[in-house]
Structure 1
Amino acid sequence: MALNPNVPANQEQRTDEIDLFELFSGLWAQKWLIVGCSALALLVATAYAFLATPYYEVHSILRTTQLKELDELNGTGVYKIDPEEALRRVGASLDSYETRVSFFNANRELFEPLKKGSGSLENAFAAFNEEQFTLLQPDPRKTSLVPFVGLKLEYPADVDGVAILNGMVRQAISDEKVRIAQDLEGVIKSRLNVINRQLTAARAKYEASKENKIAGLKEGDEIKRAQLQDELKALRGELRLRRQSRITQLDEAIAIARSLGIVKPTTPTSMGQDAGAAQGNIIRTEVFNQQFPLYFMGSEALEAERNGLLKRRSDDHTEPRIAKIQHELQLLENNRQIQFMQSREDEDLFLAALADLREESSRLENIKLDLSQLQLARVDRPAIEPIKPIKPIKMTIMALGVVLGGMLGVFAALLRVILRRKANALA
C-alpha cells in the first residue's frame, strides 16, 4: 500500500489495525440493531413454529406368538412353521410395498389429506410410503430377550396415522395368512399329485405283473398239456405195439396148438396120458417153476383172444395212466386262477401299497383349516394417539431463531463498524 506523505507512519499503521475496544464500543453503540435482528428472527421463528404443520409419530410392536397357536397348522404334517419364522414373515409383509399398496387401495379415504395440488393420490402415497414408514427390528449388535418387529409412522396432523398404522399391521398379518393358505393348498395339491402318480405307477406295475403271471400260467399250462399229449401218444403207441405183438404171439400159438391138436386148455402131463386115464373124477395139481407155453391154452381160447384183439378199436382201457392223463388234460382246459384274475372287478384291492396311499390321499383331502383364526404374531403394542407432535419443536425453533437473529445482527453491526472506520480513514 502506498504511504500518504501528509500522514505520519505510526498513525497510518494504527488505522489499519483493528482496535478491539473500539470494535466492541461500535457494536455496543448498535445494540438496538442487534436486538432488532434477534427480535425479527424470533418473530419469524415463532410464526413458523406455530403455523407449520405439526407431525406426529406412532409405532406398533409385534412379538412372537405362542407355539400352541400354530399347533393346528403344524399338526397337518404338511406345513411347518415356528413362532420366530411366523414373526419374520409378518415383518417381511410389513416391509412389503405390495402390502402397503393393497391397504392403500382398500382405504383410499385415509390418504386423501396427502393429495396436494394437481398431483395424483397414488404419487402422494408413493412419496408418503417412501419417507414416512420405518421398519423396526432388533439391533443386531444388542441381545434381545424376545424377538420383535415393528413399524413406525410419521404423519401430518390432518392424517389419521393411528388408523393407518394399525390397519397396515392388520393388513400385513391378513396377507401373510393368505400366503400361508396358498402355500398349504399348493403343498397339498403337490402331494396329492405325487400320490396319484404313485397310484398310477402302482396300477401299471400291477397290470404288468398280472399279465406276466397270466402269461406264465398259460405257458405252463401249454407246456403241461403238450407233455401230457406226448405221453398219451407214446402210451397209445406202446399199447398198439403190445397188441400187435400179442396178436403175433397168438397166431404162432394157434398154429402150434392146431398142429398138436390142442383145442382145449391142457398141461404137459395131461398130454402124456391116454384119453381113458384122463377121465374120471380125478383132480391133479401140478407145480412147475416156469410158465407153460401159450399153445397149451388150446386153439379155441387162443383164437377167441386173437379175434377180440383184432376187433379192439382202442387200447386206452388197458392202461390206468391214460385215464389219469385225460383227467389232467381236462383240468388244463380251464385254468381257474387265470379266469379269476381276468374277472377281477376292483383291481385296486390287490395293490399292496394301495391302503397306505389311499389313507394318505384321504388325509390330505380332508385337511380343512380355518386360517382366519390363526395367530401368526402377537401385537404387543398397538398404535395409539400421541400426546404431542414430534415436530416442529417450538422452543428449539424459537431459541434457534434468537441465536441466528443475534448472529445476523452482530454481523450487520460489525459490517457497519468496519465500513464506517474505513470511511473515516479515507476522509
Structure 2
Amino acid sequence: MNAISQAIPQTSSDEIDLAALFRALWKQKLLIASITLLVGLMAAAYAFLATPEYQVQSVLRPALIKDLDALNRTGVYKLTPGQSMRRVGATLESYDTRLEFFRANQGLFESLRRSNRSLEQTFEVFNQQAFKMLQPDTKKTDNLSAYVGIQLTYPEDVNGVALVNGLVEYSVQLERERIAADLAVVIQNRLNQLELQIAAARASYEATKESRIAALLEADNLKRAELQDELRALRQQLKTRRNNRIAQLDESIRIAKTLGIVKPTTPSALGEGERVSQGSVIRTEVNSQQIPLYFMGSEALEAERNALLQRRSDDFTEPRVAQIAKELQLLANNRQIEVLNKRENEDLFLKKLASWREEAARLRNLEVDVSTLKLATVDQLAMQPIKPIKPKKALILALGLVLGGMLGLFIALLRNMLQRKPETFAQTQAAREPAHSL
C-alpha cells in the first residue's frame, strides 16, 4: 500500500511539473523576448553593418578557326582554337601575370592597401581569397563544354568589374605578345636554318666540284700516261721492226749478189736468163709460195736498206701513232675542267637553292598583325552585380532570431531550475514528516 501510494503522487507530480514549467516559461516571456530581440538586433547590426561582398566572373570559349587563320597560314606556327584558349587560361591562372597586372593597375586595388603590408603581401592575401578559376569537368570530352573563366569575390569598395575585365584583356594581350615573340623567334630560327643549309649546299657544291675536277685531272693524267706508254712501246716496236727489216735486207742482198741478181726477177725467169728472147714475150707465173726477197735484186734491196738506214722516225708507218698523238693533243686541254672553273654564278647549280631562297624571301616578308589576333571568344563579360553575395541579410536575421529564441529559452529554463531547487527541498521534507508520524 505504501508503494502504491507513493507511485500515484509521483505521476501527479510529473504532470504538475510540465504545466508548471510552461507557466514558469510564460512568466518569463519578457526575458525570452528580450534576449531574442537582443540577439536579433545583434544579427541585424552585423547584417547591415558588415562590408558587402560581390562576385563577378568572365568566361572565355575557343576562338573561331578564321580568327587564327592568318597565323596558321604562315606555315611556321600552328595554333588551334583549343590550344589558344588554354594558353589564355594558363596566363589568367598565372600568379606572375596577376602580380604584374596588380603592379600596373594599383589604382584598382587602392582600397586594399594596408600600412603594415607591402605591395606583394597585399596582393598575396587578395589573390588567395578572391580569385577562382572556372573550368569544365575533366570527365566531359564534349567540345561544347570547352571553356575557361575566372571568378572574383571582392568587397564593395573594389571595382571588381573593371578588375576582371582588365585582367582578362591584359592576359590576352600578354599572350599575344608572347605569340609574337615566339613567331619572331621561329621565323628567325628558320631563316638561320635556311642560311646554314645554303652555306652547307655551297660547301658541298665546292667540294663536289673540286672532287670532280680532281677526278677529271686524274683520269686525264692516267689516260695520258697510258698513251705515252703505248706510244713509246709502239715506237720501240717500229724501231725493232725496221732493224729486223734492215738485217733481212742485208741477208737478201748478199744472196742476190751471190746469185748475180741485180734486177728484180722470178724463179722461173732465173733459169732462162741465158736464153735470147725473140720478139715480145709475156710470161706469167703462178706460184702459191712466197718468193724469196733476194729475187728483188740487189739494186732494189740496197736502195730499200739505204732508205731504212737514213730514216729518223718510223711514226709515219703506223697509223696508231697519229691516233695517239691526236688523243694526247685532246688531253692537253680538258674542256669540262675549263667550263667548271669559268662558272661565274655557281649558286645557279645548287639544286634546292631556288626553293630555299623563295622560302627565305617569304619568311622575311611575312606580316602577321598579332595585335589584332583573337585568341579566345569572350562568352561572358564581367557585369556589375545586382546584389551582394555576402552578407545574406534575411538568413542572418532568421538565424539570429532562432538562436536568440533558443538562448532565451535556455536562460529561462536555467532560472526556473535554480528557483525550484529550494521549493523542491522544502516539499520533500514536508512529505517525509507525516509519513514518520504514521
The alignment's TM-score, normalised by the length of structure 2, stands at 0.82
Partner of 1:240: 239
The one-letter amino acid paired with 1:105 is: R
Unpaired runs of at least 5, structure 2: 1-5, 427-438
Shift of 1:219: 3.3
Partner of 1:306: 305
Deviations 1:289-324 (A, max 9, x none): 356654455544433332222122211122121011
8 Å Cα contact 1:15/1:425 also seen in 2: no
Partner of 2:433: none
Instruction: State the alpha-carbon separation in 1 of the partners of residues 70 and 143 from structure 2.
Output: 28
Q: Would the alpha carbon gap of residues 425 and 96 (structure 1) be closer, same or farther in structure 2, given more than 3 Å must change?
A: same
Aligned 1:270-281 pairs, distance under 5 A: 272=272
Which of 24, 43, 46 is the matching residue for 2:44? Answer: 46
Aligned 1:376-395 pairs, distance under 5 A: 376-395=375-394
Shift of 1:119: 1.1
Shift of 1:159: 0.9
Aligned 1:157-176 pairs, distance under 5 A: 157-176=156-175
The one-letter amino acid paired with 1:44 is: M
Instruction: State the alpha-carbon separation in 2 of the partners of residues 306 and 273 from structure 1.
Output: 26
Partner of 1:3: none
8 Å Cα contact 2:60/2:377 also seen in 1: yes
Instruction: State the alpha-carbon separation in 2 of the partners of residues 97 and 339 from structure 1.
Output: 69
Instruction: State the alpha-carbon separation in 1 of the partners of residues 179 and 245 from structure 2.
Output: 97
8 Å Cα contact 1:57/1:390 also seen in 2: yes
When structure 1 is superposed on structure 2, of 29-38 and 154-163 the one drifting more is 29-38
Shift of 1:240: 0.8
Partner of 1:406: 405
Deviations 1:36-62 (A, max 9, x none): 222222322222222221111111122
Instruction: State the alpha-carbon separation in 1 of the partners of residues 409 and 239 from structure 2.
Output: 151
Deviations 1:317-348 (A, max 9, x none): 22121011011112223322234334545444
Instruction: State the alpha-carbon separation in 1 of the partners of residues 110 and 282 from structure 2.
Output: 143
Instruction: State the alpha-carbon separation in 2 of the partners of residues 193 and 249 from structure 1.
Output: 82
Q: Would the alpha carbon gap of residues 53 and 284 (structure 1) be closer, same or farther in structure 2, given more than 3 Å must change?
A: farther
Partner of 1:29: 27
Partner of 1:323: 322
4+ runs of 1 displaced by more than 6 Å?
8-18, 141-144, 274-278
State the SS of the aligned residue for 2:389: coil
Q: Would the alpha carbon gap of residues 303 and 273 (structure 1) be closer, same or farther in structure 2, given more than 3 Å must change?
A: closer
Deviations 1:404-426 (A, max 9, x none): 22222222222211111124445
The one-letter amino acid paired with 2:336 is: Q
8 Å Cα contact 1:112/1:121 also seen in 2: no
Partner of 1:288: 285
The one-letter amino acid paired with 1:408 is: L
Q: Would the alpha carbon gap of residues 18 and 165 (structure 1) be closer, same or farther in structure 2, given more than 3 Å must change?
A: farther
Shift of 1:98: 2.1
Which of 51, 54, 61 is the matching residue for 1:56? Answer: 54
Taking only the aligned residue pairs, the percentage that are identical comes to: 56
Instruction: State the alpha-carbon separation in 2 of the partners of residues 410 and 200 from structure 1.
Output: 96
Instruction: State the alpha-carbon separation in 2 of the partners of residues 97 and 19 from structure 1.
Output: 66
Shift of 1:122: 1.6
Deviations 1:138-161 (A, max 9, x none): 345677745322211111111111
The one-letter amino acid paired with 2:286 is: N
Instruction: State the alpha-carbon separation in 1 of the partners of residues 197 and 143 from structure 2.
Output: 48
State the SS of the aligned residue for 2:286: coil
Q: Would the alpha carbon gap of residues 299 and 331 (structure 1) be closer, same or farther in structure 2, given more than 3 Å must change?
A: same
Instruction: State the alpha-carbon separation in 2 of the partners of residues 386 and 342 from structure 1.
Output: 82
Instruction: State the alpha-carbon separation in 1 of the partners of residues 137 and 253 from structure 2.
Output: 129
Instruction: State the alpha-carbon separation in 1 of the partners of residues 8 and 206 from structure 2.
Output: 126
When structure 1 is superposed on structure 2, of 336-345 and 413-422 the one drifting more is 336-345
Shift of 1:247: 1.7
Instruction: State the alpha-carbon separation in 2 of the partners of residues 423 and 17 from structure 1.
Output: 20
Aligned length: 417
Q: Would the alpha carbon gap of residues 213 and 141 (structure 1) be closer, same or farther in structure 2, given more than 3 Å must change?
A: closer
Which of 62, 67, 70 is the matching residue for 1:69? Answer: 67
Shift of 1:236: 0.7
Instruction: State the alpha-carbon separation in 1 of the partners of residues 363 and 120 from structure 2.
Output: 43
State the SS of the aligned residue for 1:244: helix
State the SS of the aligned residue for 1:58: strand
Shift of 1:68: 0.9
State the SS of the aligned residue for 2:79: coil
Deviations 1:57-77 (A, max 9, x none): 111122222111111222223
When structure 1 is superposed on structure 2, of 193-202 and 12-21 the one drifting more is 12-21
State the SS of the aligned residue for 2:152: strand
Instruction: State the alpha-carbon separation in 2 of the partners of residues 141 and 273 from structure 1.
Output: 134
Q: Would the alpha carbon gap of residues 322 and 26 (structure 1) be closer, same or farther in structure 2, given more than 3 Å must change?
A: same
8 Å Cα contact 1:138/1:144 also seen in 2: no
Unpaired runs of at least 5, structure 1: 1-7
State the SS of the aligned residue for 2:366: coil
8 Å Cα contact 2:136/2:145 also seen in 1: no
The alignment's TM-score, normalised by the length of structure 1, stands at 0.84
Partner of 1:136: 134
Instruction: State the alpha-carbon separation in 2 of the partners of residues 167 and 182 from structure 1.
Output: 22
